Amino acid sequence: MPQKNRNNLPLEVEYTHIRKVLAVVSGKWRLYLILLLGEHTFRFGQLRQQLPAISEKMLAGELKALVALGVLRRNVYAELPSRVDYSLTPNGLLALPMLRQLPQVGQLFT
């Protein structure tokens, strides 16, 4: 019989969920991007200005990965010049309160 956790879920199911979360936040800049976006919408250039230490190539890759993971929404507007902006999806917004607590947890280890 599989071992269960306190929520009565089999441990392998719990670990699967944890692996999914880690896939979302495992990129070097992903947490910063999610927290920076919060309830806001930013264009690529605005995100680049807010995180000057990130290269354009890295930013583009992290944004693409977060869109593929379903955390970010990429909105493309049919304008010239083209305009693209990024915002959190409902799933990204759901994770936001927990992610905003990370600095408090970090203080416990200093």
| 43, 83 contact by CB (below 8 A) | yes
Q: Report residue 63 as tokens.
A: 């944004």
- pLDDT score for 29: 93
- Which tens digit of pLDDT belongs to each residue from 43-94? 999 999 999 999 999 999 999 999 999 999 999 999 888 899 999 999 999 9
User: Mean pLDDT, to the nearest integer, of 18-36?
Assistant: 86
Beta-carbon neighbour count of residue 109 at 10 Å?
A: 5
Domains in the chain (CATH in brackets) are 11-87 (1.10.10.10)
Amino acid at 61: G
What is the pLDDT confidence band of residue 8, given thresholds at 50, 70 and 90?
Answer: low
What is the pLDDT confidence band of residue 103, given thresholds at 50, 70 and 90?
Answer: confident
Residues 6 or more apart in contact with residue 87 via CB below 8 angstroms:
37, 40, 41, 42, 72, 73, 75
Which pTM value belongs to this model? 0.81
- pLDDT score for 82: 86
- Sign of the Cα pseudo-torsion (106, 96, 20, 9, in order): positive
Percent of the chain whose predicted confidence (pLDDT) is above 70: 91
Which stretch of DSSP H or E encloses residue 95? helix 90-100
User: Mean pLDDT, to the nearest integer, of 7-26?
Assistant: 75
CA distance 47 to 41: 10
